Amino acid sequence: MGYFLQQLVNGLTLGAIYALIAIGYTMVYGIVGMINFAHGEIFMIGAFISLIFFVVLGVLGVTWLPLALLLVLLLAMALTAVYGWAVERIAYRPLRGSFRLAPLISAIGMSIFLQNYVLLVQGAHEKTLPPMITGGFELMQSGGFMVSVSWLQLIIVGVTLLLMVVFTAVIQLTPLGRAQRATEQDMTMAALLGIDVDRTISLTFVIGAALAAVAGLMVTLQYGVIDFFIGFLAGVKAFTAAVLGGIGSLPGAVLGGLLIGLIEALWSGYCPSEYKDVAVYAVLILVLMFRPTGLLGRPEVEKV
Amino acid sequence: MMGAAPRLKDAGLAALVALALAFPLIGFETAESGVGFTTRFPWVAIAGAAVFAGRLLLGLLPQRFHLRQRASRSTAVSDGKFVKLAAAALIVFAVLLPVLPFASRRSIDLATLALIYVILGWGLNVVVGLAGLLDLGYVAFYAVGAYSFALAVQWFGLSFWEMLPLSGVTAATAGILLGIPVLRLRGDYLAIVTLGFGEIVRIVLNNWTSMTGGPNGIGDIPRPTVFGMPIAPGAPAGVTTFNHVIGIAYDPIQRLIWLYYVALAVALIINWFSLRIRRLPVGRAWEALREDEIACRALGLNPTTIKLSAFATGAMTGGFAGVLFAARAGFISPESFNFQESATVLSIVVLGGMGSQLGVALAAVILATLPEFGREFAQYRMLIFGAAMVAIMIWRPRGLFTVRAPSVRLDQT
Amino acid sequence: MTRQSLLAVENLSMRFGGVVAVDDLSFTAYRREITAIIGPNGAGKTTVFNCLTGFYRPTGGSLVLTQDDRNFQLERLKGYRIARDAGVARTFQNVRLFAGMTVLENLVVAQHVALTRASGYNLGGLLGLKRHQDAERAAIVRAREWLDLIDLTGRADEVAGNLPYGAQRKLEIVRAMCTGPRLLCVDEPAAGLNPHESADLARFLVLIRDRFGIGILLIEHDMTVVMGISDHVIVLNYGKKVADASPAEVRRDPAVIKAYLGEEGD
């Protein structure tokens, strides 16, 4: 029982991170109807930028943890957002309305490019960061097993939930959100009604990238080891989360992220952990086969 | 056309973005230990300046040189003369290659590898180029072909010639099995699910150690014999070597040349097959499916069988390539079958012009041999790959060689 | 000549969530007749087509197609089998040609079912058997006859997507005819055509009806076309049938006038 609870706690932490990345997939898919295959790499870049600024701030003598965290968070979000913006501007915008496989192939190209760009400028070796936030508390003792929750895990889940609420509010209540939903419904009509479609789409990518940067920061803090290849797997899993939750739905992305995190943690806890990725892929395939609209997605009527 | 001032402003903004992009990742490199870092700010400045200049120059170019082509439809219908000539020249060159002056062990081995990529490209071309089904896990079938050959050798002592067709069958079966669940999925969902399949295959190969040897792979894979006779320096009792029969001394290069010709023969057969099947009902149905699945259904075409036949054909071809790959290396491990490889084959198809047989062959040869010219270049290979895929999609969304020969003409009766 | 029933639609209903697109609709279409379905926008006309051709599964009701004394329950067949076995062909409101393939290829693909059989499920074709070559030649001849009818023979080897709009519309009808249907469903064939082209198209539909003796279901907003060529007209409004009669009678029907004036009022 205790062991199970511990896996649950770990799974929720991991799931929160997936959820942050999944939001980017789901928003972009909702608005332009494509899988932003490079989104995993944006997350990876977010992780690298976070790590770099932690190191830089450490050397510069910013040692008060809350300040360092806040600075890194803001810098990483801002600079990663520029990457998100640039990717859309360079690789996707010129392809709007093109042959239907073109944007996806372009996205794969972008993903390969970004991965190898980071490999080139930051090297192939793993980058490590000493643990910055340590300690935690013991939740309970159960069945001879101590269930512990670290402060960091609390921060991760807390920040994720906070961001989720903020961005849901943005989408529901602000003019940007309205423009986004209108563009999602009908791009041409939205443009005719005076919505700057290009700007709306750009902002969607910027928001998605900023959230991925937060996920990158969390991963850097939680695991302390990153390399140029982490984006691929995280990207696929977060995409799975978005699909599981129902692509296009923000709450769906969060739910999907948490579920994927739980599946992965529980599988690792009870089954051969080298097959944990197979479990995630299997979930993806099963969901797409039997419920392509996901758990919270709207059914899609084929337009003839 | 813009005036000078707005153009400068535009370039300035682009440069600012470039600076923001370059600042964290190029500007700093952290030490491996996680403490301390080095800075490379001059490079950041160079990146910014380069983007400024590039953006300015791009604005000065006449409109028609702009890298944007909205028309997504191939309009050219060639009479095929040029294509036929180029193809003939390529085949003559391929046949003569081992006797050309620069032929060496290294170059023949490389040419064999290039042929394997040509075969892979043609196989994926059926799925992506003709049927329009984006398969990101194509490498799975390549792996199935290679592993079924290696395992059959290990467990049943079968030979290359027995397993070449059988591996094609295994891979085609795998193609159908993987195809059934994904039939209903639309373009990008299909892509991500096939990617998942590819990864599952790789993970299983990597972890099912008792069967596949895990990360250590499988070695001692035999090379193809010549009519049942091996090419070898000396033979165990009771076995006649081919070089003994024709009375020439053994030279390691002979094995490479033989494998090269085997690969060439396989490639030519697949080429014949692909050209022919494109003109058959099923081939036309693949293309029709790519153009409009709904219209296909309304005309009584069964999308299920059409998709499955495309998957099976592509997978079978991948299986053949896998056998050749295993025979060439003599050793296989899951590392050779990762997503990177799927992406490489996909870029061959994209670069070559989806649907174009000759284009795919040229692209495969270029991509397979390019890394050999200059080791310096190797580390930029994938970087350029990625950038090229984006650029080609923007410039020519249907690929470089978009000349499409119709499968049937009015005057052919 | 007595009218031969071809398609019997009984109590057809189609609901999307809370929206009732087609509400308890019954009508019959006959061989050698053009049956027009008209009605204001959103009356459920295309939904009827989509139910007929298997793109939607109706919420209720039955669709029976009679072909040589065989009955096909269309609502139980898969979409492609409706075209292949029952012989129902259709065109689309927004033309759906195989835009990247040539005009001729479009027409040959439409003969896929017959060609596949003749090619021994492609195996015979792969081996280059004569039977397949003959069948392919026959398919080209048939395509050519159709192209002659619509004056596109000269552009047979051009990419279909490059044809002018009017020609694309006609080609789509011809492509549907190449499947050898019993019932042809055409969805707004005159949309976007000028009066001259519309009249030309109307003549073409009449020619198809008379020469091939098949039934045609026609959705159309152009009343000149509808009133000129239809044998009977079904009027839909809000998914319900408000009239089912000859063109002349429909024109005088107060219920029809009301349905349309309600539209024109704004």
pLDDT tens, position by position, C49-95: 999 999 999 999 999 999 888 889 988 888 899 999 899 999 999 99
Q: Is C179 exposed, middle or buried (0-12, 13-18, 19+ CB in 10 A)?
A: buried
Q: What gap in Å lies between CA A237 and CA A214, rounded to an integer?
A: 17
- Kindly state whether A302 is in contact with chain C, defined as any CB-CB distance less than 8 angstroms: yes
Residue found under tokens 């953006």: B55
pTM of the model: 0.86
Chain C hits for B287, CB-CB cut-off 8 Å, are 98, 100-101, 105
Per-residue pLDDT, B269 = 95
CA dist A114 → A46, B371, B396 (Å): 12, 19, 22
How would DSSP label each residue in A12-47? Answer: HHHHHHHHHHHHHHHHHHHHH-S--TTHHHHHHHHH
In contact, B332 and B147? CB cutoff 8 Å: yes
Q: Residue A278: which of B29, B33, B200 has the nearest Cβ? A: B200
**B94 and B365 in contact (C-beta within 8 Å)?**
no
Q: What is the pLDDT of residues A59-83, one digit of tens each?
A: 888 878 889 999 999 999 999 999 9
Cβ–Cβ gap C16/A301 under 8 Å: yes
Q: What is the pLDDT of residue C235?
A: 92
Chain C residues with beta carbon closer than 8 angstroms to that of B407? 105, 108
B185 touches chain C (CB under 8 A): no
Does the residue A301 lie in any domain? no
Residue in C56, C78, C91, C96 to test binding to B, most B beta-carbons within 10 Å: C96
Are residues C55 and A301, on separate chains, in Cβ contact within 8 Å? no
- Alpha-carbon distance B170 to C178, whole Å? 38
pLDDT tens per residue across span A126-155: 888 888 887 777 777 776 777 788 888 898
Alpha helices in B61-124 (DSSP H): 81-96, 105-124
β-strands A127-128, C19-30: how paired? unpaired
Give chain C positions within 8 Å (CB) of A304.
46, 50, 55, 92
Within a domain: residue A299?
no
Which positions ≥6 away from C153 have C-beta within 8 Å? B410, C144, C147
Dihedral pair phi/psi, residue C27, rounded to 5° = -165, 170
- Residue whose structure tokens are 């046949």: B95
* C215-219 and C183-187 beta bridge pairing: parallel
Residue A296 lies in a domain: no
- Range B409-413 average pLDDT: 73
Which of these, A224, A200, A244, A219, lies nearest to A160 by C-alpha position? A219
Return the residue of C nearest to A99 by Cα.
Answer: C100
Q: Is residue A136 part of a domain?
A: yes
Average pLDDT over residues B114-132: 94
User: Is the pLDDT at C178 greater than 50, yes or no?
Assistant: yes
Alpha helices per DSSP H over A88-174: 102-122, 151-173
**Nearest chain B Cα distance for residue A79, angstroms:** 6
Cβ–Cβ gap A34/B188 under 8 Å: yes
C93 CB near a chain B CB, below 8 Å? no
**Rounded to the nearest 5°, which phi and psi values hold at A67?**
-65, -45
Which residue of B lies nearest to A86 if distances are taken between CA atoms?
Answer: B17
Write out chain C residues lying below 8 Å of A302, CB-based: 55
Does the beta-carbon distance from B299 to C89 stay under 8 Å?
A: yes
- Residue A130 belongs to some domain of the structure: yes
Query: Domains in chain A: how many in total?
Result: 1
Instruction: Say which residues have a Cβ less than 8 Å from residue B46's Cβ, sequence separation at least 6.
Output: none
pLDDT at B314 over 50: yes
Count of C-beta atoms within a 10 Å radius of residue B146: 30
DSSP-based three-state secondary structure for C30: strand
Domains of chain B, earliest start first: 4-65 (no CATH), 81-223+252-407 (1.10.3470)
Q: B156 to chain A, minimum CA–CA distance in Å? A: 28
Query: Looking at CA atoms only, how far is residue B129 from chain C in angstroms?
Result: 12
Asked if A46 and A209 count as a contact pair (C-beta separation under 8 A), the reply is: yes
Question: Helix (H, G, I), strand (E, B), or coil: what is residue B398?
Answer: coil
Q: C28 forms bridges with which residues in the sheet?
A: C8
The SS3 of residue C27 is strand
Can you give the pLDDT at residue C265?
42
The answer to whether the CB of C208 falls within 8 A of the CB of C177 is yes
Mean pLDDT of the B182-211 span: 86
* Residue C96 touches chain B, beta carbons under 8 Å: yes
Q: Smallest Cα–Cα separation from C204: which of C255, C160, C167, C241? A: C167
CB-based contact (8 Å) between C92 and chain B? yes
Q: Does position C97 have pLDDT exceeding 70, yes or no?
A: yes
- In degrees, rounded to 5, the angle at the alpha carbon of residue A269 between the alpha carbons of residues A268 and A273 is 25
Interface test with B, best of A57, A71, A233, A281 (most B CBs within 10 A): A281
CA distance C95 to chain A (A): 10
Q: Is the dihedral of CA B94, B219, B167, B308 positive or negative?
A: negative
Split at pLDDT 50, 70, 90, the class of A301 is low
Nearest CA of chain A to the CA of C56: how many Å? 9
| Per-residue b or e along A131-168, where b marks 16 or more CB atoms closer than 10 Å to that residue's CB | eebeeeeeeeeeeeeebebbebbebbbebbeebbeebe
CB contact under 8 A, C157 and B406: yes
Residue A180, token pair as written in the block: 């986004």
* B295 close to C98: Cβ distance less than 8 angstroms: yes
Chain A residues in contact with B125 by the CB 8 A cut-off are: none
CA C229 to chain CA centroid, nearest Å: 15
Q: Which residues of A touch B387 (CB under 8 A)?
A: 109, 113
Residue C245: enclosing H or E segment and its boundaries? strand C240-245
Q: Which chain B residues contact residue A243 at CB under 8 A?
A: 189, 192
Q: Is residue A286 part of a domain?
A: yes
C86 Cβ under 8 Å from any chain B Cβ: no
CB-count exposure of residue A278 (10 Å: 0-12, 13-18, 19+):
buried
Residue pair A232/A40 in contact by the 8 Å Cβ criterion: yes
A neighbour chains, 3+ CB pairs within 8 Å? B, C
Contacts of A57 (CB under 8 A, 6+ apart): A68, A71, A72
Q: pLDDT band for C260, please (50, 70, 90 cuts).
A: confident
Greatest mean pLDDT among B245-254, B401-410, C109-118 lies in C109-118
Q: Bigger pLDDT: C118 or B293?
A: B293
Which residue would you say has higher pLDDT here, C99 or C126? C99
- The three-state secondary structure class of B328 is helix
Q: Which residues pair with A146 in a beta bridge?
A: A141
Across the interface, do C125 and B281 touch by the CB < 8 Å criterion? Answer: yes
A301 touches chain C (CB under 8 A): yes
Cα separation, C130 vs C111, in Å, equals 18
Q: How confident is the model at residue B7 (pLDDT cuts 50, 70, 90)?
A: confident
| pLDDT tens readout for residues C122-177 | 777 777 778 888 888 999 999 999 999 999 999 999 999 999 998 999 999 999 99
Residue A91 pLDDT more than 50? yes
Counting as contact any 3 or more CB pairs under 8 A, the partners of B are A, C
Residue of B nearest to A284 (CA): B193
User: What pLDDT, on a 0 to 100 scale, did the predictor assign at position B73?
Assistant: 43
Residue A214 reports pLDDT greater than 60: yes
| Predicted local distance difference test score (pLDDT) of residue A19 | 93
Query: What's the pLDDT score for residue B34?
Result: 63
The HSE-up count of residue A33 (CA atoms within 13 Å, CB side) is 15
**pLDDT(B98) > 80:** yes
Least confident of A259-273, C112-126, C189-203: C112-126
* Helix and strand counts by DSSP (H, E) for chain A: 11, 4
User: Per the domain annotation, does A302 fall within a domain?
Assistant: no
* CA separation, residue B173 to residues A171, B85, B153, B309, B318 (Å): 47, 36, 20, 11, 12
Asked if C97's CB is within 8 angstroms of B292's CB, the reply is yes
- Cβ of residue B214 closer than 8 Å to a chain A Cβ: no
Contact B198, B139 (CB under 8 A): yes
Using a CB-CB cut-off of 8 Å, the residues of chain A touching B26 are 121
Residues 6+ apart with CB under 8 A from B202: B139, B140, B143, B334, B337, B338
Q: Phi/psi at B106 (nearest 5 deg)?
A: -65, -45
Q: Which helix (H) or strand (E) holds A285?
A: helix A276-290
Residue B103 touches chain A, beta carbons under 8 Å: no
pLDDT in tens, A147-183: 788 888 898 889 888 888 888 788 778 888 788 878 8
For an interface test with C, give the residue of B183, B184, B278, B280 to mutate (most C CBs within 10 A).
B280
Q: How far apart are CA B261 and CA B243, in angstroms?
A: 16
Distance separating alpha carbons of residues C214 and C232, to the nearest angstrom:
15
Compute the distance between CA of residue A210 and CA of residue B359 in angstroms, rounded to an integer: 40
Match 């010549």 to its residue by tokens. Answer: B226
CATH code of the domain covering residue A252: 1.10.3470
- Among the partner-chain residues B67, B134, B199, the one whose CB lies closest to the CB of A104 is B134
By residue range, what is the domain housing residue A122? 2-290
Confidence class of residue C4 from pLDDT cuts 50, 70 and 90? confident
pLDDT at B33: 67
Q: Which of C19, C46, C50, C185 to mutate to probe the A interface, most A CBs <10 Å?
A: C50
Which of A58, A99, A275 lies closest to B35 in CB terms?
A58
Q: Give the chain A residue whose CA is nearest to the CA of B389.
A: A109
The residues, any chain, with a CB within 8 Å of residue A272's CB and separated by 6 or more, are: B207
Q: Higher-confidence residue: B81 or B348?
A: B348
In whole angstroms, what is the distance from residue C22 CA to residue C240 CA? 6
Q: Across all residues in chain B, what is the average pLDDT?
A: 85
Angle at A193 between CA A187 and CA A198, to 5 degrees: 45
Percent of chain A exceeding pLDDT 70 equals: 97
